[in-house]
Amino acid sequence: MFDFAPLTKWIDTVLHNAMSPFWAVVVEMLIVGVLILLFYALIGLFLVYAERKVCAFMQNRLGPNRVGPFGLFQTIADLVKLLLVELVPIRNADKFLFNLAPFIVITASFMAIAAIPFAKGLHAIDLNIGIFYVIAVSAMGVIGILLAGWASNNKYSLIGAMRSGAQIVSYELSVGLSLITMVILAGSMQLSVIVEGQATGWFIFKGHIPAFIAFIVFLVASTAETNRGPFDLAEAESELTAGYHTEYSGIKFAFFFLAEYMNMFIVASIAATVFLGGWMPFHVGNWDGFNAVMDFIPPFVWYIVKTFFVVFLMMWFKWTFPRLRIDQLLTLEWKYLLPINLVNVLIMAFIVLMGWHF
C-alpha cells in the first residue's frame, strides 16, 4: 500500500522506451530537480508562515491574518517584496565572496534534502551512506556563513560569523554522535533501511533509554547547528543586530532566511526518520485493528506530521528561552553533551551486542 516504487519504475520505463538512456537520465534528473525545488520552496514558505503563527500564539497575538485565508499568502507577498527590493551594494565588500555566500548556504540545505525518504520509494537518491551524506552536506553551510561574515566588511557580521563557526563545528560532533548511536541500533547508514527497520516499532521506543537520550541530544545539538534560538548567537538580534547577514538585502537575504528554515526542516526530517520511524505508521504490538487504521494514513502524511512535530518543538524552544552566551554554549557542548554522547554510544553498542533491544 502506498508504495511509490512502481510509479517511479513506470516513469523510468516510459522514458527509456521513448528516448536514448542518456536523455532518459537527463529528463529524470530534471524532473527530480524541479520537483525538489518546488517542494523546497513550498515547505520554506509554509515554515515561515508556521513559525509566525506559532510564535504569535505563544505571544498572545494573531500573527499574519490579512493576506489570503488565515494569512496564508502573507509569506508569498513577503517573498515577492524580497524579490523586488533593491540589492544594496556594499562598499569595500569582497564582491565575489559576498555574492557567493548565500548560494553556498542554500545549496548545502538543498543537497541535504535529496537523501531524505519522504515515503516508501519516494526519495531522490537512496545512498548507502545516507546519514553520513546528510551530515557532511549540511555542515557545508557553515562555509557560506563564514564567507558572508568575512566578505560583508562589517564588524558585527564578522563577530557573528566567528561565533557561528565555533558553534556549528562544535555541535556537529554531537549531531554526528547521536546519529551514530542510532546507526548502531539500525545496523545501517542507508536511510531507507533505517526506516524499514522501524516497521515493528520506532527506534525511540526500541532503543531503550540510550535512544531517548540520543533524541534529546540530537534535538539540542541540531537546534544549535541550524542557528536557531536559544542558540541563535550568530544572529543575536539584540547584540549583533543581525549577525552575519546584516549587510544582505533583497533576494540574497531571502536565501539566508529560506536556508535557515529549510535547515530546520531537514534536521527535523532526520530526527523523524531516525528516531520516530520516518514514514512508518504508528503500530502497537498486537492491536491489529488499530494498526490497520494507522496503515490507512498515507506514509507521506506520517512523515510530514512527524517532521512538523519536531519543527514545532524547535519553535517552542526558540520562543520561550532566552539566548545563551557563547562561552556557555561551548561549555554545554564540550562539557555536557559530548561526554553524555560518548557514554551513550558505548551503552547503545553494549545493548545491541547483548541483543537487549526490542
Partner 1 sequence: MEEPVKVAVDENQEYVINMGPQHPSTHGVLRLVLALKGEIVKNVEPHIGYVHRGMEKMCESITYPQIIHLTDRMDYLSAHINNEAVCLAVEKALEAEIPDRIKVIRTIMSELTRIQSHQLFWATFGMDLGGLTCFFYGLRDREKILDIFEETCGGRMIVSYNCPGGLMYDIHPNFQKRVKEFIKYFRKILPEYDQLLTGNIIFQERTRGIGRLSLEDAISYGVTGPTGRASGFSCDVRKHEPYSAYDRVKFNEVLFSEGDTFHRYLARMEEMRVSMDIVEQLIDNIPEGPFAVKLKPVIRLPEGEYYQRVETARGELGVFIISDGNKNPYRIKFRSPCFSNLWVLNLISRDFKIADLVAIGGSLDLVIPDIDR
Residues that bind partner 1 (CB under 8 A): 55, 58-61, 155-156, 159, 163, 229-230, 232-233, 236-241, 319-328
Give whichever of 141 and 243 is closer to partner 1, judged by the CB atom. 243
Instruction: Compare residues 99 and 241 and give the one whose CB is closer to partner 1.
Output: 241
Nearest distance in Å: CB 338, partner 1: 19
With respect to partner 1, which residue has the nearer C-beta, 306 or 323? 323
List C-alpha distances in Å: 272 to 195, 259, 349: 10, 19, 22
CB 257 within 8 A of CB 81: no
Q: State the DSSP string of 29-95.
A: HHHHHHHHHHHHHHHHHHHHHHHHHHHHHHTT---S-SSSGGGTTHHHHHHHHHHHS--PPPTT--H
What are the helix and strand counts (H, E) for the chain? 16, 0
Rounded least distance, CB 124 to partner 1, Å = 36
Of 232 and 260, nearer to partner 1 (C-beta) is 232
- We find the least distance from the C-beta atom of residue 142 to partner 1, in angstroms, to be 18
The minimum distance between CB 157 and partner 1, in angstroms, equals 11
Long-range contacts of 308-312 (CB under 8 A, 24+ apart): 308/50, 308/268, 309/272, 309/276, 310/219, 310/267, 310/268, 310/271, 310/272, 310/276, 311/47, 311/50, 311/264, 311/265, 311/268, 312/54
Q: What is the DSSP string of 269-324?
A: HHHHHHTS-TTPPP--TT-HHHHHHHHHS-HHHHHHHHHHHHHHHHHHHHHHSPPP
3-state helix, strand, coil in the chain (%, to 5): 70, 0, 25
CA 330 to chain centre: 22
The smaller minimum CB distance to partner 1, of residues 62 and 305, is found at: 62
Select 86 or 327, whichever has its Cβ closest to partner 1: 327
Q: Is residue 20 helix, strand or coil?
A: coil
50 or 266: CB nearest partner 1: 50
Q: Which is nearer to partner 1, 47 or 315 (CB)?
A: 315
